[in-house]
């Protein structure tokens, strides 16, 4: 019988109104956890004191004095001090449904290559301030399908089909030794996009399992969200990793890597253009032969646009987002 020691890693930075909800959702799991490693990144809102006062022996509280961009350094510390063999990630403003780890464990048992399994992801719902909810892109794609067990080439193909990373941090569980072998989160080279970069690098080491069952909630009304206090007007973090992989990639995988590179750069630029003109440095290295139309769009976005062209672009962008 499979016995899994789950260490839950929760980075905390000024999320006092939410962290109690996150921790309680871990304690309410139908599958018990080995430990809950909370790494405070220098909070000033009483979050650290709140967690310290909970008094549950499973909670291991650590503190860093200097906040790190994106919570990457905090997650890395959590991974390093964890004693479980699998790391389950949960951000302090997200929440698990009670069956999250049960679904993860069931998915693990279904894998016919258990020694190669490095990552397990599940579906999640996005809850907006209005009360509207939607499911993640992978779960919408799979609908009622069962879990998939994807090698690196298959993972890249799925990434492209669904139009983005098919796994999400607060619904992802990874083998601890694989996280370390992959190099951990990129705390020293990016402030956003590091999660996708991590999932890409760990997927290259083995099999990624993805189960579309909804087991977590991403709240869009959280305070102090990373997406609201960092800029996207910089080169995507994933570019560095893909460029390194391309040096040794087989032709079939190389083609998928180039297309993934283009996809993430293009999405990054589209997001950035909401507030400023796109700097050419952001999309440096874009593979024009793979996506010539997108290449032309990026060139246009890097130049001054008339108000009329701008309005047309925004309408097209809005329609494209609705289709996804």
Q: What is the pLDDT of residue 282?
A: 87
Q: Is 133 within a domain?
A: yes
Question: In this model, does residue 3 exceed pLDDT 50?
Answer: yes
Residues 212 and 292 in one domain: no
- State the pLDDT confidence band at 320, using cuts at 50, 70 and 90: low
* pTM for this model (two decimals): 0.90
Q: What is the pLDDT of residue 313?
A: 59
Residues 203 and 283 in one domain: no
Question: In this model, does residue 281 exceed pLDDT 90?
Answer: no
Q: Is 158 within a domain?
A: yes
Please report, to the nearest 10 degrees, the dihedral formed by the alpha carbons of residues 114, 176, 4, 158 taken in order: -50
Domain boundary at 187, 210, 229, which? 229
Residues 174 and 249 in one domain: no
Domain boundary at 166, 194, 229, which? 229
Domain boundary at 205, 229, 253, which? 229
Question: In this model, does residue 310 exceed pLDDT 60?
Answer: no
Q: Is 83 within a domain?
A: yes
Residues 202 and 270 in one domain: no
Which has the higher per-residue pLDDT, 144 or 198? Answer: 198
Q: For residues 210-239, give the mean pLDDT.
A: 77
Residues 200 and 316 in one domain: no
The count of domains in the chain is: 2
Question: In this model, does residue 54 exceed pLDDT 80?
Answer: yes
Q: Is 117 within a domain?
A: yes
Tell me the percentage of the chain whose pLDDT exceeds 90. Answer: 76
Q: Is 28 within a domain?
A: yes
Residues 33 and 179 in one domain: yes
Residues 193 and 103 in one domain: yes
Residues 169 and 316 in one domain: no
Give pLDDT tens digits for 233-259. Answer: 678 899 999 999 999 999 999 999 999
Q: Is 130 within a domain?
A: yes
> Which domain, by its residues, includes 62?
6-229
Q: What is the 3-state secondary structure (H, E, C) of the chain?
A: CCCCCEEEEEEECCCHHHHHHHHHHHHCCCCCCCEEEEEECCCCCCHHHHHHCCCCCCEEEEECCCCCHHHHHHHHHHHHHCCCCEEEECCCCCEECCCHHHHHHHHHHHCCCHHHEEEEEEEEEEECCCCCEEECHHHHHHCCCCCEEECHHHHHHHHHHHCCCCCCHHHEEEEHHHHHHHCCCCCCCCCCCHHHHHHHHHHCCCEEEEEEEEEEEEECCCCCCHHHHCCCCCCCCHHHHHHHHHCCCCHHHHHHHHHHHHHHHHHHHHHHCCCCCCCHHHHCCCCCCCCHHHHHHHHHHCCCCCHHHHHHHHHHHHHHHHHC
Residues 79 and 138 in one domain: yes
Which has the higher per-residue pLDDT, 112 or 228? Answer: 112
Q: Label residues 109-139 b or e (16+ Cβ within 10 Å = b).
A: eeeeeeeebbbbbbbbbebeeeeeeebbbbb
Q: Is 153 within a domain?
A: yes
CB 62 within 8 A of CB 39: yes
Residues 216 and 261 in one domain: no
Which has the higher per-residue pLDDT, 192 or 193? Answer: 193
The CATH number linked to 174 is 3.90.550.10
Give pLDDT tens digits for 289-307. Answer: 999 999 998 988 887 544 4
As a whole number of angstroms, the distance between CA 106 and CA 89 comes to 18
Which has the higher per-residue pLDDT, 319 or 100? Answer: 100
Residues 48 and 117 in one domain: yes
Question: In this model, does residue 190 exceed pLDDT 70?
Answer: yes
Q: Is 1 within a domain?
A: no
Residues 259 and 203 in one domain: no
Q: What is the pLDDT of residue 230?
A: 47
């Amino acid at each position: 019988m499979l016995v899994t020691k789950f260490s839950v890693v929760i980075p905390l930075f000024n999320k006092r109104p939410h962290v109690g909800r996150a921790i309680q959702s871990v304690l309410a799991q139908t599958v018990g956890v080995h430990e809950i490693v909370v790494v405070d990144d220098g909070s000033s809102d009483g979050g650290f004191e709140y967690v310290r006062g909970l008094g549950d022996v499973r909670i291991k509280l650590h503190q860093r004095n200097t906040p790190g961009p994106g919570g990457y350094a905090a997650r890395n510390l959590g991974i390093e001090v964890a004693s479980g063999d699998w790391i389950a990630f949960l951000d302090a403003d997200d929440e698990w449904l009670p069956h999250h780890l049960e679904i993860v464990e069931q998915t693990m048992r279904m894998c016919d290559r258990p020694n190669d399994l490095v990552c397990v992801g599940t579906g999640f719902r996005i809850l907006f301030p209005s009360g509207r909810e939607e499911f993640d892109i992978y779960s919408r794609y799979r609908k009622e399908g069962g879990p998939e067990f994807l090698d690196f080439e298959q993972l890249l193909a799925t990434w492209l089909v669904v139009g983005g990373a098919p796994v999400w941090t607060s619904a992802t569980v990874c083998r601890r030794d694989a996280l370390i072998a992959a190099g951990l989160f990129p705390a020293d080279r990016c402030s956003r996009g590091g999660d996708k970069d991590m999932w890409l690098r760990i997927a290259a080491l083995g099999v990624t399992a993805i189960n579309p069952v909804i087991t977590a909630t991403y709240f869009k009304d959280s305070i102090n969200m990373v997406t609201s206090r960092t800029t996207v007007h910089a080169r995507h973090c994933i570019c560095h990793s893909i460029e390194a992989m391309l040096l040794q990639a087989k032709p079939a995988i190389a083609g998928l890597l180039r297309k993934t590179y283009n996809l993430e750069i293009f999405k990054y630029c589209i997001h950035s253009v909401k507030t400023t003109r796109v700097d050419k440095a952001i999309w440096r290295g874009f593979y024009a032969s793979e996506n010539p139309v997108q290449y032309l769009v990026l060139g246009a976005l890097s130049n001054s646009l008339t108000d009329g062209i701008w309005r047309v672009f925004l309408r097209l962008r809005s329609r494209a987002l609705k289709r996804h």
